Amino acid sequence: MEFHPSFSTIIAISFSVILLAFLLHILIKKRATMWKNNLKPPQAKGALPIIGHLHLLGGPKLPHHVLGDMAERDGPIFTIKLGVHEALVVTNASIAKACFTTNDKVFASRPKAEATKLMGYNYALFAFTPYGDYWRQMRKMVKYEILSPRQVEMFGPVRGSELKTSLRDLYDGWVKNKISQNSETVKVEMSQWFGNLVVNIMGRIITGKRFRDDEGVRFQNVVKMFFELMGAFVVSDFIPYLKWLDVGGYRKAMKKTAIDLDNIFEGWLKEHKKECKSDEGSIINTLISVLQCASEDEFPGFDHDTIIKSTCQQLLIAGLDTTSGTLTWALALLLKNPQTLKIAQDEIDEHVGRERPVDESDMKKLVYLNAVIKETLRLYPAAPLLVPHESMENCIVGGYQIPKGTRLLVNLYKMHRDPNIWEDPLEFRPERFLVIDKHIDFRGNHYELLPFGSGRRICPGINFSVQAVSLILASLIQQFVLKNSSDEPIDMSESSGLTIWKTTPLEVLLAPRLSSNMY
């Protein structure tokens, strides 16, 4: 049966097409007018010739604090000069939304830097590689083959096994100390304990085995150096003709760190190939299997061994850094707020009890604990400036023209403490996520809270990190009484780098709060 549109239908369709064309013309004309009128964002004061604002960001005050102070004076969107480069600084949720929605593809690339070149297998690390075919293939592989919800769930027994071993070590240390010192508590440096636990979880997930002896501690030290160097303002990145000087010795340190990291991953790969290992479910085995079936054109620019090593490096350092760092900040905040700690423990006692250990299946019931984690990520996001983005073409943000090649710095630290969004923004109040801000999540869709980023370059390891943090924190709270080891307030100062670590050790007095058979 043929369809014969009526005259009125034809008129309506014609009118719609004309209206759409008119609106498109207006939009194009408006964008052209904005460019013609040269509507550039305000530039922060304090720039010097040649170096721009580098002298301000390389001082004793951490960059996210410096940029936060600038925002107080210059507003929620402004630019800074980093030598020959210009960077757009954003500290407003609605402007960040425009960057990660309307202009998401525009800002989907990463700026090239000596750190990612020298320590990242010449830009093979998928979190730092520029936008292109290689990144798209890596994202696809990581998202669907390695960190899919099903794969993350399959890692559950490894998380549970390593956590049980580490908690038993805490208990044994308490028993030993009680016998030798006749003390009801034992002092433990928890940031190191978190690091050891997470590095062994990651080691087993990636290779099927734990780190040997003090290998894990050495690796943690290398990772800390990696992130410190990743966050360093290397003069040659911004003033290329000074590259030969290696001001500050950063390039030399980067080369050494790259060798230290590669020795670990090269050893794993050689051992795996030599022994023809088939660690079922291990990431290195998955990578080898996927790449065996891939053509050279699918991952342009890198050989398969480099892809395997760089992916293992990316997953291990990211998993260690974000997970152990978040756990350290969360426990420090709970110790500073004993009543909040008690509420979290009471919730676990109510929903889980004291006759069995917390399990991953319990996490959905622990609403207050989840609020504690959200509040920790709000106050201490792992990467306070996110990983920098770079625009691949001209665009409009917040009504301003942003030229191609502009770097994007989203100051989460300042944005997450915006008094226009958060009530008492500097206070640690998990309750805010139970009532007023209950709807806000951290998975990239609520732009006032973006600890893992948003858009195309959002961190693919959200599920893994959150599950690990939730289980470890809940288990520690359930099984031990935890107190500050000193009468002095807990030092909450932050270290420098791409990510923020607690500068000083987190020493805690702990004692078991469950019956001995639970350990």
pLDDT in tens, 270-282: 888 776 655 556 8
* Share of the chain residues as helix, strand and coil, in percent rounded to the nearest 5: 55, 10, 35
> Could you tell me which residues come within 8 angstroms of residue 162 by beta carbon, excluding any fewer than 6 positions away?
197, 200, 201, 204, 210
Band of pLDDT at residue 17, cut at 50, 70 and 90: very low
Residue 281: phi and psi, rounded to 5, are 85, -10
Q: What is the pLDDT of residues 78-128, one digit of tens each?
A: 999 999 999 999 999 999 999 999 999 999 999 999 999 999 999 999 999
Q: What is the pLDDT of residues 179-236, one digit of tens each?
A: 999 999 999 999 999 999 999 999 999 998 887 767 788 888 898 899 889 988 888 8
**Regarding predicted confidence, which is higher, 116 or 244?**
116
Q: How many CA atoms lie less than 13 Å away from 371 in the CB half-sphere?
A: 21
CA distance linking residue 248 with residue 39, whole number of Å: 37
Model pTM? 0.89
**Across residues 254-270, what is the average pLDDT?**
93
Residue ranges in 337-432 assigned as alpha helix (H): 338-351, 367-379, 412-415
Give CA separation, 394 vs 79, 112, 400, in Å. Answer: 15, 18, 11
Q: How many CA atoms lie less than 13 Å away from 205 in the CB half-sphere?
A: 29
- The DSSP bridge partners found for residue 77 are 90
Token code pair at residue 499: 């990510």
Residue 186: phi and psi, rounded to 5, are -130, 140
Res 215: pLDDT: 78
- Confidence check: pLDDT of 6 > 70: no
**Regarding predicted confidence, which is higher, 6 or 513?**
513
Is the Cα torsion angle 494, 496, 501, 504 positive or negative in sign?
negative
Angle at 389 between CA 386 and CA 392, to 5 degrees: 170
- Confidence check: pLDDT of 9 > 90: no
Listed by start position, the domains of the chain span 36-518
- Confidence check: pLDDT of 387 > 70: yes
Token code pair at residue 312: 């293992």
CA distance linking residue 347 with residue 477, whole number of Å: 10
Tell me the average pLDDT of the chain: 90
Residue ranges in 437-500 assigned as alpha helix (H): 462-479
- The DSSP bridge partners found for residue 480 are 512
Is the Cα torsion angle 457, 459, 463, 464 positive or negative in sign?
positive
- Confidence check: pLDDT of 350 > 80: yes
CA dihedral 127, 131, 135, 137 (to 10 degrees): 150
Band of pLDDT at residue 1, cut at 50, 70 and 90: very low
CA distance linking residue 187 with residue 508, whole number of Å: 6
Q: 3-state class of 481 per DSSP?
A: strand
Only one residue has tokens 């053509």, namely 295
Q: 3-state class of 281 per DSSP?
A: coil
Give CA separation, 219 vs 43, 74, 213, 226, 313, in Å. Answer: 41, 41, 11, 10, 11
Class of the CATH-defined domain 36-518: mainly alpha
**Across residues 327-348, what is the average pLDDT?**
98
**Regarding predicted confidence, which is higher, 221 or 309?**
309
CA distance linking residue 326 with residue 472, whole number of Å: 11
Res 272: pLDDT: 81
DSSP for 303-341 reads -HHHHHHHHHHHHHHHHHHHHHHHHHHHHHHHHH-HHHH
Only one residue has tokens 């670590």, namely 501
Res 275: pLDDT: 67
